[in-house]
Structure 1
Amino acid sequence: MTTTRGIAQSINSLFPGGVPVRLSAYDGSVSGDAESPYGIRLLTPQGLSYLLTAPGDLGLARAYVSGDLELEGVHPGDPYPLMDLVLDRTNFSLPRPAELLGLVRNLGLGTFRPPAPPPQEHLPAWRHKVEGLRRVSIGALLWGRHSKDRDADAIHHHYDVSNAFYEHVLGPSMTYTCAVFPTEDATLEEAQANKYDLICRKLDLQPGQRLLDLGCGWGGMVRHAAQHYGVKALGVTLSEQQALWAQQAIKEEGLDDLAEVRFSDYRNVAEGGFDAVSSIGLTEHIGVANYPSYFGFIHGKLKDTGRLLNHCITRPENTSRASAGKFIDRYVFPDGELTGSGTIVTAVENAGLEVQHHENIRVHYAKTLTGWNENLVDNWDACVAEVGLGTAKVWGLYMAGSRLGFERNHIQLHHVLATKTAKGVSGYPLRPAFGV
């Protein structure tokens, strides 16, 4: 005689060690840790199908973003407390055939048919090629994952969400990269200004010099360097909305004579002879296979003794596949790739640049993400009104999960400072002059 288990018990049995929070389902069944203040509630058969057809973080994210699954005991703008319990325990493999047959009897064959992903999900790599033939250019098909057209599409997906939404989440600095906190109690705004100033000091910027900022976002580095260091700064971004916002900010701050932001692929920059190049959060987007051409491009744009500061999310090792993960790839950073800082240092050196300083500021990114989650919670209604509930939930999930990744050293953030050394002359002092 076959014993029929409830949906919650069936799902809980798939996770190694069970789910460490309360798990309930639309059939009234309950499993997991009944005493936990946090819970996962499965609301619909479609949510169950998401879990079973994409085991792990992708299926959970699909069910959550679509509204087929709820997280209990946490705010959707900051699900960190619940995620702290379930991180690294969300992946499961479907059981052996005999056990799978039991699941089919309990749950029904229809639950194993994949539903359409939520509209917030970006096409994965293979579907770009199969389903996107009519809209992808010949160049994109020939050059693959990081053609200019495809990079523009990926950046548009992530950064052209809404400038108003980013203002709510990022705060007045409009800076979407890791801050550097001078003290434990420094505010997010103080830490972002400190980050820009540290980079300016690492680059040894002087009045009258020329700076190229690759992937400049809303122009924070460009404006800081122009205003506080008197350099002539050019920033480029593939996000049209970022460029428009930055151009307006430059006008309002009276920096037109020193600062410029272009809506452009960095590969289209024709000028050269720059004293410094900053790359803050762009390397994650260009693809590891393109590191040689990217750092070669930078080498060609620098004058002799010029400096590069590369600021990039990294892995704590250099052997894993460079993918950022299924959820991140589909919902946050399409085509993003993360690798170890050693791979970046090697590529910088192979491009002919001399690495002078290498620094890990991982713990600062956990604090930065905490601040962004707090901003999202504080401005939740306005954010939902701006981008919709599904997208707002994606951001809460992504930022809380990323915070945990940095806290647990699953991911890191590295600064690599290098010079274009010519005939043994680097222009770098005997000891770093930028302090901490």
Structure 2
Amino acid sequence: MTTIREAIASPDHLPLAKVFEIFLGSDPKVRLTAYDGSSVGPPDAAFGVDLKTPRGTTYLVTAPGDLGLARAYVAGDLDLVGAHPGDPYGALQALAEDLSFTKPSPLEMAQIARGIGLEHFKPIAPPPQEALPRWRRFAEGLRHSKTRDAEVIHHHYDVSNAFYRWVLGPSMTYTCAVYPDADASLEDAQENKYRLIFDKLALQPGDRLLDVGCGWGAMVRYAARRGVAAIGVTLSAEQAHWAQRAIDDEGLGDLAEVRHADYRDVAEAGFDAVSSIGLTEHIGVHNYPAYFTFLRDKLRDGGLLLNHCITRPDNTKSNKAGAFIDRYVFPDGELTGSGTIISRLQDVGRLEVVHTENFRDHYAMTLRDWNANLVANWDDAVAEVGEGTARLWGLYMAGCRIGFERDTIQLHHVLAVKVGRNGRSQLPLRPWWTP
């Protein structure tokens, strides 16, 4: 079989499958095929990658790495063979064993260009699902300004309520579930998550809860059903409309409210508890002091704050998301380790961390079940948002599942109490909730 270097050394005809091998890693365990008829890798491999169009080649060579691969896949120029597009987990898992995203030397790149044609090295427009790179988002405002945050949230969360319903299930909950056991359903696990947060916050009938970044209002409605007056805020107009209608349908209007607003615009204070479930990822690490100060000031003395957030397994690496996540999933999103979150929370003063735990395995299971929902509702999802967006969601969720399984990302609860000026919290001596 012709080696990569032999193929490059004879650039009059460079098989496209060899280009794959150059960029993705040598000796692949998946089958790599291309539209010119070339192939590399085991013929009997369970999974494969099929490059279908010249445009896909351009995406791969102009953005080597996960961004180029994602562009080609979302655009339909590349297929993951052996996997449903709603759940390409198996193919991604097999491909992840090979991925090295090797960067060829300048000489090798020149030889590749001669072999496949210089026209493939001219950048072309990405798929419409892709957000602008960070340096071009200034027209939307400074990073994490109210204007830019609103645009970022619109990009990801205002896709379609119907689409989210098919992926997330009846709970309309787009955050990590907490599985009481390995056989629990997604709906039971989401209900258990809200039960756990409610109990950790020690909420009682007559208490007041503020839920920032409330999504479709599931935490707000859970609390209101139990006699707690709850206010939720979200920057997504679609979420706010859906949530308020659900509140009205359940007859919870006397206790529950969801506002289409920035959390920074909440004027009320003196809450018994604040929940932040999946919002901190969008805040920006340098904004943590202001964020936690704001939440602290919304609490009464003795009030509890629960921060539920995707985290990194360390506190040293870059906070910025990779190119694929930043352009296609969470523009401007940032992640850091739980230690950084705890430190920033403590540093604002009068917030005492009393408990933390990691739900990494639970998020992998949640993503598994979301992918299964997308597969089950694939035709409806494609009809609603288009095949490119549906493929993007399948890719993103399956890829994140692998990340949680491999401990490259985690999910932490951090529970804190606002102590009085005398340092007292009046909390029980031991945890008061059922795990």
* TM-score bucket of the superposed structures, by smaller chain: over 0.9
Post-superposition Cα deviations, 1:258-279, rounded to whole Å, max 9, x if no partner, equal 1000000000000000000000
Post-superposition Cα deviations, 1:196-221, rounded to whole Å, max 9, x if no partner, equal 00000000001111000000000000
Instruction: State how 1:5-20 maps to structure 2 within 5 Å.
Output: 5-20=14-29
- Tell me the secondary structure at the aligned position of residue 272 of structure 2: strand
Which residue, out of 314, 319, 329, partners 1:332?
329
Query: 1:25 is matched with which residue?
Result: 34
Instruction: Output the CA distance in 2 between the equivalents of 1:308 and 1:34.
Output: 55
1:234 is matched by which residue type in structure 2?
I
Identify which range, 5-14 or 56-65, moves more after superposition: 5-14
- Identity of paired residues, percent? 63
Instruction: Output the CA distance in 2 between the equivalents of 1:226 and 1:18.
Output: 57
1:101 is displaced (CA, Å) by: 2.3
Instruction: Output the CA distance in 1 between the equivalents of 2:187 and 2:24.
Output: 41
Query: 1:2 is matched with which residue?
Result: 10
1:425 is displaced (CA, Å) by: 1.0
> Is structure 2 residue 407 aligned with structure 1 residue 424?
no
C-alpha spacing 1:345/1:408, structure 2 compared with 1 (3 Å): same
1:232 is matched by which residue type in structure 2?
A
C-alpha spacing 1:181/1:2, structure 2 compared with 1 (3 Å): closer
Post-superposition Cα deviations, 1:129-158, rounded to whole Å, max 9, x if no partner, equal 3xx3xxx3xxx2xxx210000000000001
Query: 2:132 is matched with which residue?
Result: 123
1:175 is matched by which residue type in structure 2?
T
Query: 1:174 is matched with which residue?
Result: 172
- Tell me the secondary structure at the aligned position of residue 252 of structure 2: coil
Which residue, out of 217, 220, 235, partners 2:218?
220
Instruction: State how 1:79-228 maps to structure 2 within 5 Å.
Output: 79-87=88-96, 89-129=98-138, 132=139, 136=140, 140=141, 144-228=142-226
1:287 is displaced (CA, Å) by: 0.5
Instruction: Output the CA distance in 2 between the equivalents of 1:218 and 1:16.
Output: 42
Instruction: Output the CA distance in 2 between the equivalents of 1:291 and 1:16.
Output: 39
Which residue, out of 69, 78, 86, partners 2:87?
78
| Residues 276 and 302 in structure 1, CA contact (< 8 A), matched pair in contact too | yes
| Residues 328 and 334 in structure 1, CA contact (< 8 A), matched pair in contact too | yes
Query: 1:379 is matched with which residue?
Result: 377
1:27 is matched by which residue type in structure 2?
D
> Is structure 2 residue 420 aligned with structure 1 residue 411?
no
Which residue, out of 70, 73, 81, partners 1:64?
73
1:402 is displaced (CA, Å) by: 0.6
1:46 is displaced (CA, Å) by: 1.1
> Is structure 2 residue 432 aligned with structure 1 residue 433?
yes
Post-superposition Cα deviations, 1:73-106, rounded to whole Å, max 9, x if no partner, equal 1100000000011226434243223222221121
1:336 is matched by which residue type in structure 2?
G
Q: What TM-score do you get using the length of structure 2 for normalisation?
A: 0.95
Instruction: State how 1:228-247 maps to structure 2 within 5 Å.
Output: 228=226, 230-247=227-244
2:129 is matched by which residue type in structure 1?
Q
Instruction: Output the CA distance in 2 between the equivalents of 1:355 and 1:397.
Output: 36
| Residues 12 and 32 in structure 1, CA contact (< 8 A), matched pair in contact too | no
1:45 is displaced (CA, Å) by: 1.2
Instruction: Output the CA distance in 2 between the equivalents of 1:217 and 1:18.
Output: 44
Q: What TM-score do you get using the length of structure 1 for normalisation?
A: 0.95
| Residues 55 and 91 in structure 1, CA contact (< 8 A), matched pair in contact too | no
Number of equivalences: 424
Query: 1:316 is matched with which residue?
Result: 313
Query: 1:361 is matched with which residue?
Result: 359
2:222 is matched by which residue type in structure 1?
H
1:221 is matched by which residue type in structure 2?
M
2:10 is matched by which residue type in structure 1?
T
> Is structure 2 residue 261 aligned with structure 1 residue 253?
no
Instruction: Output the CA distance in 2 between the equivalents of 1:349 and 1:89.
Output: 42
C-alpha spacing 1:212/1:343, structure 2 compared with 1 (3 Å): same
Query: 1:388 is matched with which residue?
Result: 386
Post-superposition Cα deviations, 1:16-55, rounded to whole Å, max 9, x if no partner, equal 3343211111111011232212111111111011111111
- Tell me the secondary structure at the aligned position of residue 24 of structure 2: coil
> Is structure 2 residue 344 aligned with structure 1 residue 344?
no
1:337 is displaced (CA, Å) by: 0.6
1:385 is matched by which residue type in structure 2?
A
C-alpha spacing 1:154/1:89, structure 2 compared with 1 (3 Å): farther
1:269 is matched by which residue type in structure 2?
V
> Is structure 2 residue 283 aligned with structure 1 residue 286?
yes
- Tell me the secondary structure at the aligned position of residue 44 of structure 2: coil
Instruction: Output the CA distance in 2 between the equivalents of 1:68 and 1:293.
Output: 44
Post-superposition Cα deviations, 1:353-409, rounded to whole Å, max 9, x if no partner, equal 100001001100011111100000000000001100000000000000011111111
Gaps of 5+ in 2: 1-8
Identify which range, 421-430 or 250-259, moves more after superposition: 421-430
CA RMSD of aligned residues (A): 1.2
Instruction: Output the CA distance in 2 between the equivalents of 1:89 and 1:265.
Output: 43
Instruction: Output the CA distance in 1 between the equivalents of 2:151 and 2:112.
Output: 40
Identify which range, 110-119 or 232-241, moves more after superposition: 110-119
2:14 is matched by which residue type in structure 1?
R
- Tell me the secondary structure at the aligned position of residue 323 of structure 1: coil
Instruction: Output the CA distance in 1 between the equivalents of 2:29 and 2:333.
Output: 30
- Tell me the secondary structure at the aligned position of residue 58 of structure 1: helix
1:430 is matched by which residue type in structure 2?
L
